[in-house]
Structure 1
């Protein structure tokens, strides 16, 4: 009889990619690369100034080509040798995938994809700049495949199911203060170990059962925890 790998679920946020050089916007002034987030990450902002929004994401897409996964991303990929790892990320970059993680759910969309504004909202891989005149095969304009403020999060249900089934839960690089993503932690089953990695954790040991806080940035704290988990040989039961 073979062994079944334990299910380890990772909830990752902007701090996961900060060590790769991707700027976060919630830490200080609410600006994202110099822009009010509502100008570039809301349907109203897009309708007001679509050229500004497309240019913003074109710049982010170009930046993404110039950065690489950090030690935290790489360590999570290594966990797949011993665990069934599912990553639920708020990040729109593809650094988890480039590090080697094979099961990544992007709650807020993906920079390297665009979608049609026509019926069915078809999604397409997109490596280069997106222009106003670009059209999907059916002739409709395309927009960034990003979940903007005020829009529904279509993958929230599969994400909550994923957390519900976890044998271990790891939260890294996110304050878990912003809903609806913040609500995912409440789907954790009682008794399931919860590791929280953030240099400025906004949780206390008594906030959740089984909580262990590692007050480090992702590129330091994640490899440390991964060595601990793999060293215990706790990936199977």
Structure 2
């Protein structure tokens, strides 16, 4: 199986990775929904929405500050590093549902953050946007214009950033191989990305410790972790 995947990767000119919470979990970042998920007594669907934010902005900010501290304390794992390493040999793009910035910290240069970034903030009214550089003296933090700042993430019910989504479609539609890592792609519209890749005749590879709804439509599906599998695959290309 590894040899078959290795051959596909060697032949490919452009490889696109679609990544989700599974690869970040291997860096010690808790998932929303897992039994060890953050703030288990709260329903993420009721925290990660614009309505929840306006109903109790301090609570939502406390939740995101907790998540941000966990993320900043984490490090990229060998899965992230292998994807970045592959750029030495192939044209590689990463379309990620994760908001943690670990792909960039690992060295990947073409990363499209479909759901935004927990490292940046934006104003709820004006066009202000910036990276978070330290803890806030008050929650919710306020913009210079006097309105509330919010995490620059895509909440349930919100549209993806259209420029990022357009670029993601272009990347998916032009790749030779798509590797779906650590995500069931249950969330729309990210679940359309494999469709665009397939229309281009791309080879579809899944790396996930669990079977997913996408598994049956993949050309190759590996039941293993990104941190253990991706470094081995990349090493075969560099030989």
TM-score range, shorter chain: 0.7 to 0.9
Partner of 2:207: 197
Give the Cα separation in 2 of the matches to 1:204 and 1:147: 23
Contact 1:87 1:104 in 2 (8 A): yes
Where in structure 2 are the equivalents of 1:26-175 lying within 5 Å?
Answer: 26-27=33-34, 32-34=38-40, 35-120=42-127, 122-130=128-136, 131-132=138-139, 134-154=141-161, 155-175=164-184
Any idea what SS the aligned residue of 1:44 has?
helix
Q: Deviations over 1:109-135 (max 9, x none)?
A: 101100011233x32101333443533
Any idea what SS the aligned residue of 2:87 has?
helix
Give 1 or 2: higher helix fraction.
2
Residue 203 of structure 1: how far off its partner (Å): 4.9
Give the Cα separation in 2 of the matches to 1:55 and 1:49: 10
Partner of 1:216: 224
Partner of 1:234: none
Contact 2:126 2:145 in 1 (8 A): no
Contact 1:23 1:33 in 2 (8 A): no
Give the Cα separation in 1 of the matches to 2:171 and 2:116: 17
Question: How many residue pairs are counted as aligned between the two chains?
Answer: 223
Structure 1 residues 149 and 105: CA distance shift in structure 2, 3 A:
same
Residue 32 of structure 1: how far off its partner (Å): 4.2
* TM-score normalised by L of structure 1: 0.86
RMSD between aligned residues: 2.0
Residue 40 of structure 1: how far off its partner (Å): 1.8
Give the Cα separation in 1 of the matches to 2:109 and 2:214: 32
Flag structure 1 segments of 5+ consecutive residues without an equivalent. Answer: 232-237
Flag structure 2 segments of 5+ consecutive residues without an equivalent. Answer: 1-11
Q: Runs ≥4 in structure 1, deviation > 6 angstroms?
A: none
Give the Cα separation in 2 of the matches to 1:205 and 1:176: 10
Give the Cα separation in 2 of the matches to 1:50 and 1:205: 39
